[in-house]
Amino acid sequence: MKYASQKVAYWFFAAAILLLSLQIVYGLIMGFAHMGYDGLHSVIPFNTARAVHTNLLVVWILLGFMGSAYYIIPEEAQQELVNVKLAYIQLISFLLVGVAAIVGYHLNYWEGRKFLEIPRPLDWLVVINVLTFLGIILATVYKGKKRTTTSLVLTMGLVFAALLYLPGMIWFDNQTMDSFFRWWVVHLWVEGVWELIMGGILAFLLIKLTGVDREVIEKWLYVIVGLTFLSGILGTGHHYYYIGVGKIWLIVGGIFSMLEPLAFLAMALFAVGMYRKGEKKHPNKLALYWTLGTAILSFVGAGLLGMAHTLPQVNMYTHGTLVTAMHGHLAFWGAYGMIVFSFITFAMPNLTGRRLYDTTYGQLAYWLSNIGMLGMTVAFGVAGVAQVYLERKFGMEFGAVQQEIEVHFLVLVITATMFATGITFYIIEFFRFGKPTNEAIGFEETMKKSN
C-alpha cells in the first residue's frame, strides 16, 4: 500500500466476504430443498431463497469491485482518494440498502424479475450510492498525477455499469418489453462492462505480480476491450430468441454470442502469457494462483459453458433449466468471484503489513473452493441435462421431473460443502491478517527490495 486512503478497501472486502457467507447459507437451503428436504419452506420458500442468493451475489461482487477500485485508483493516479469519510458512508449506506432489500424479499416486498427483484424506490437509493462512489473515483482520477490505461479501463467499466443499471428501472406493463430491457442490465453487465472492470483489475494484478512491463500488459487490454464490445453487445441477442421479438435475433444472437468466448480466451492467454514471460519473483504466490485461476476458470465457465447453450437450437430446450444454473455458477464464480478473491489475496499483505504468503490455510482455501465449485458445476450439469430430456424432450410434468432428479443434489450438497469449507479457510486467513494500518505504507516496496 502506498496511500493511507487505500485502507478503506479492507472494509469493502470484509463486507463482501460476509455477504458471500450469507449467500452460501441460502444456496445450501436451496440445495437441500432440491433434494426433497424443504423444512424451512414456510419461513423461506424457494423463490425467496433464490432471490436472496442471487442478489447477495451481485452485492458482494459489487462491493469487491468497489473495494478494488478504492485500492487501485489512488495507486495508479498517484493521489489519495479525495474523500475517505464519504467512502465509508457510501459503504455503510450501500449495506443498509442491501439489508433493506433482503428483509423485504422475506416479506414479499419485491419485483419478480430475476436479478432485478429490488423494488424501484430502493433502486433510487442504489443510484445515489453509486453516484457517490463514482464521484469519489472520478474526482481522484481527475486530480491525480497520472491517467494510466489500466485505471481508465477500470473507471470506464464502472461508469458504464452504473449507466446500464438504469434500463432496468424503466417501467413497462408489457412482459416482452420488460424482458428486453432487463437483459440490457443483466447481460450487458456480465458479458460487457463487467469484463472491462475485470480486465482492469487483471491488468493491475499482472503488472504487480509478474513484473512484465506495463506497456505490454496494457496493449492486451485494448484487445480485450475490443473483443468484448464486438461480441458482447449484439450477443445480447441470445436472450431474445423466444421472448416475443423479431426472428432476426435468432441469427444475430447466435452468431455474435458464439464469438463471446474469444474475449475470455484472450484474457486467459493474456494472463498465462504474462506469467510465463514474467520473472516470477513476487512472494505472493497465492495471489498469482488466484489470478491465473480466474483467467482459466472464467474461460471455462463463461466461455465454454456459455457456448454450450447459446445456439437457438440448443437454447430452445435448455432455457431456464438447471443447465443455466450450471453455467451461471462457474461463470459468476470463475470470472467475478475469483477476480475479487485474487484482488483481496493480493491486497491483504500490503494493507496489513503481514507476510502471510503461501500459507496452508491459503492453499486449502484455494483448492477446496475451486474444486468444490467445479464439482457443483458438474452436479448442476448432470441434473440439468436429465431435466432437459425428461421435461422438454419427453414431456414429463415439471414437478415429477424435479423429483426424478433429486438424487443429483446429493453430489451438489457434498461439493458445495467442500466449496464452503474452502471459503471458511479463506475467512480464517482474512482474520489472521488483522486490520489495515498506516505502518503498512510502503510495505510492498520494502518487500521488493528485500527479495
The residue among 184 and 419 lying less far from Fe ion, judged by its C-beta, is 184
Do 202 and 297 contact (CB within 8 A), yes or no?
no
Helix residue ranges, H only, 260-359:
261-277, 285-298, 305-307, 312-318, 322-331, 338-352
Nearest to residue 323, comparing CAs of 268, 388, 262, 264? 388
435 CB-near residues (< 8 Å, 6+ apart): 10, 352
Q: Note the residue count of the chain.
A: 451
Q: Which helix (H) or strand (E) holds 30?
A: helix 8-35
Specify the stretch interacting with ligand HEM by CB under 6 A; choose among 152-160, 354-362, 414-422, 424-432. 414-422
Helices (H) and strands (E) in the chain, counts: 19, 0
CA distance linking residue 173 with residue 169, whole number of Å: 13
Specify the stretch interacting with ligand HEM by CB under 6 A; choose among 79-87, 99-107, 153-161, 297-305. 297-305
Do 151 and 217 contact (CB within 8 A), yes or no?
no
Do 199 and 225 contact (CB within 8 A), yes or no?
yes
Residues 246-265 that bind ligand HEM (CB under 6 A): 257, 260-261
Closest CB 32 distance from ligand HEM, rounded Å: 9
From residue 157 to residue 186, what is the string marking binding to ligand HEM with x (rule CB under 6 A)? Answer: -----------------------------x
Specify the stretch interacting with ligand HEM by CB under 6 A; choose among 117-125, 158-166, 298-306, 437-445. 298-306
Closest CB 227 distance from ligand HEM, rounded Å: 11
- Residue nearest ligand HEM (C-beta atom): 306
Of 50, 182, 187, 327, the one binding Fe ion by CB under 5 A? 187
Residue 50 as a binder of Fe ion (CB under 5 A): the answer is: no
**Partner in contact with 75, chosen from ligand HEM, Fe ion, none, beta carbon below 5 to 8 Å by kind:** none
CA distance linking residue 184 with residue 60, whole number of Å: 21
Residues of the shown chain interacting with Fe ion in the complex, contacts defined by CB under 5 A: 187, 191
Residues of the shown chain interacting with ligand HEM in the complex, contacts defined by CB under 6 A: 24, 27-28, 30-31, 34, 50, 53-54, 57, 114-115, 186, 190-191, 238-239, 257, 260-261, 298, 302-303, 306-307, 309-310, 315, 319-320, 322, 324-325, 327-329, 331-333, 335, 337, 416, 419-420
